[in-house]
Structure 1
């Protein structure tokens, strides 16, 4: 699979404006992803407050997780629509709009009346706000990758995408720390009385700060050149992608599957899985998750830099194999009692940073005129399918692997990622058209 032109600047050195763009983009991404994931950290109080009293706790919590999943299912819609205008009207406009669309519903969730005040309208409004959040993140993540990739020199695209992805993962860490702080400083009754609103109100407020900061960003040089040459797609960008770049879409979706398994299983689900399956105490499980999330941010930058040095395909292949070995080591230790859980989980978090190679793989696969639409469609559809289906897929492995099922599932997707990387490396050796 050949690569296509990325950035207009021929130099390899990052300029001050490039670093400013990366910093502002990563900060906005962290705040936006915090807004998206903080919902799941407060699923328990939301399940008690937004459904009628007397509802079985398991049912109320399942309904809240269903609302959480609706955000994933809404991602393709937002991604496709925002990518269309990003390819036709400019990357910056959609890049700014996405963070605004995330800040507004996050702030609104913090202000919503509960079921005891407005009845069934409460969960319906909560669902609506979650759908808007999903639409926003569907445009934010691929839009941010394309935005930074087209701002920096082409031999720094991996580093830029890795930094941006690190910013997104820091958002998860911030959400986890916010939940831990509230759990430690507020009694359960105080959380139900209004403490649960704090992280949403703060997230919404900081989101509007991110909107203001993005005013200082300029349009990407690649899009400016396309507009000046009148080379913007005259057809529907997504139609062009599906008609002429189906191979790029397939490879991008497979790489996203590996990314999804690594993030959803090893970062979002693992603290609960190790408590239920291996008897790890909750404080130790969440401490391990915080260490792994911090290491993940470093890993994203490291693997993104590696992609610049050896090629995104080779970096994806090596990173996927590292993910396979790290997962096997952690679960083997857990099965033996978990004596080394904390250092192994932190090391695995760093290896999960191989997800920083995935955006570099994707942005290289699509031509500039339809790049936003290509990356957005492949990433968001794959994430909606595999992200929403992760629990079911892990359940299939559990039928014969038991409590080791998460490791087998991640291992399977890691081998898939390694195969994609190896294929792309072969294509790079056959020659890339720049």
Structure 2
């Protein structure tokens, strides 16, 4: 390999690392919140019954997502006007500080009602900065990638989501092994949240060292950017925006079910110990993480559509049987269901991001992808653990959450089937967009 080729490969590896680490921080925090929901509930809602405290904890998890679209709009505009690197540098440090602060907040036994208020404010800040992170990461990975490998590069977004959950599960397994339940609920759960700050500082350093996205730089040089990306998306690319929303519904509800609801479900409803729950989640997420790069690379050859259709169809057909399996009792059944759910999710995590990016031209890609993803996550992602827990408590059925996930999967299946062509932007080149005064690209 020549020195020039080696330098290019090294540069691209740095891009993946710099972008992926922010996505890791975002999903690491979400995983921690789900895994330690019981501990968080006893810290901030100690005066309530266990069920009510958990509902309150999930409610704050969901309410905080209202700030995601605000962050998506503001950072999307900034990213489409100023550049990807600058927007992503701000978002990663903002998310990291918010996650760190959650780990040092006083509980309600110390400051009373102020404790859940501070928790809410921290979650709002985290959601605001996260609103830019996922759409920005998807956009940047697609634009930095070499021709013919955009799916593979973008797949690292899904890979780091799962590895963040794996890392969170590993920490949870370690803490439950070495700490008593009282110590874990009292102070032990705070430790992993503190790790977000050094990770964020590392990510900030790496991102500030990146060159600007080649495609955005080319569009800016050709004066093909726009001063009103939000307006252009809503006027010229609204069909693409609706498709991104549709594709995101099934992925979002299944993801937040798995990482936000399933851990407490396995403990409270199925009856696993915390150690068994962490083991089941760890194995399932690891298997899925291994599969994501495989599906992503194959999508460069066979297109995005087969994996989106296949993934959403699997969600529709398998979610209810897998919940029956998980609730049938025993670690073996719960482990099998956890692995199967994670595997079903893996092709969607691998391909949805690049499919969304390929629906928009460069001039409005950051805004279009960020808003499409963030609106759905705001409406359905953050509320999913709360809705599923409420359904279980209201009906007494351990399987009723699966009906909700199946319905969301049906909506995404329709969106996937509506993608253009049999292959759905198969290995399509993400080209610098023309000025948005021209007709929109066909979604």
Interval containing the TM-score (normalised by the shorter chain): 0.7 to 0.9
Distance 1:345 1:375, change over 3 A: same
Q: Mean Cα displacement is larger for which, 378-387 or 291-300?
A: 291-300
Q: Gaps (5+ residues) in structure 1?
A: 1-10
- The 5 Å alignment of 1:36-51 reads 36-51=30-45
State how far apart, in whole Å, the 2-side matches of 1:279 and 1:324 are. Answer: 26
Deviation at 1:330, TM superposition (A): 2.8
State how far apart, in whole Å, the 1-side matches of 2:194 and 2:424 are. Answer: 51
Q: Paired residue for 1:289?
A: 281
Q: Are 1:212 and 2:222 matched, yes or no? A: no
Q: Are 1:109 and 2:102 matched, yes or no? A: yes
Q: Mean Cα displacement is larger for which, 409-418 or 76-85?
A: 409-418
Q: Are 1:20 and 2:14 matched, yes or no? A: yes
Distance 1:353 1:243, change over 3 A: same
State how far apart, in whole Å, the 2-side matches of 1:41 and 1:402 are. Answer: 22
Q: Paired residue for 1:3?
A: none
Q: Are 1:243 and 2:235 matched, yes or no? A: yes
- The 5 Å alignment of 1:319-330 reads 319-327=311-319, 330=322
Distance 1:430 1:231, change over 3 A: closer
Distance 1:397 1:205, change over 3 A: closer
Deviation at 1:335, TM superposition (A): 6.3
Deviation at 1:148, TM superposition (A): 0.7
Deviation at 1:225, TM superposition (A): 0.5
Q: Are 1:407 and 2:402 matched, yes or no? A: yes
Structure 1 vs Structure 2 CA RMSD: 3.0
Q: Are 1:351 and 2:335 matched, yes or no? A: no
1:270 is paired with a residue whose SS is: helix
Q: Mean Cα displacement is larger for which, 282-291 or 134-143?
A: 282-291
| Aligned residue among 203, 227, 230 for 2:196 | 203
The number of residue pairs the alignment matches comes to 420
Q: Are 1:265 and 2:257 matched, yes or no? A: yes
Deviation at 1:144, TM superposition (A): 0.5
State how far apart, in whole Å, the 2-side matches of 1:193 and 1:348 are. Answer: 32
- The 5 Å alignment of 1:44-193 reads 44-51=38-45, 54-193=47-186
Q: Paired residue for 1:7?
A: none
Deviation at 1:232, TM superposition (A): 1.0
Q: Paired residue for 1:4?
A: none
Q: Mean Cα displacement is larger for which, 395-404 or 356-365?
A: 395-404
Deviation at 1:399, TM superposition (A): 8.9
Q: Gaps (5+ residues) in structure 2?
A: 432-443
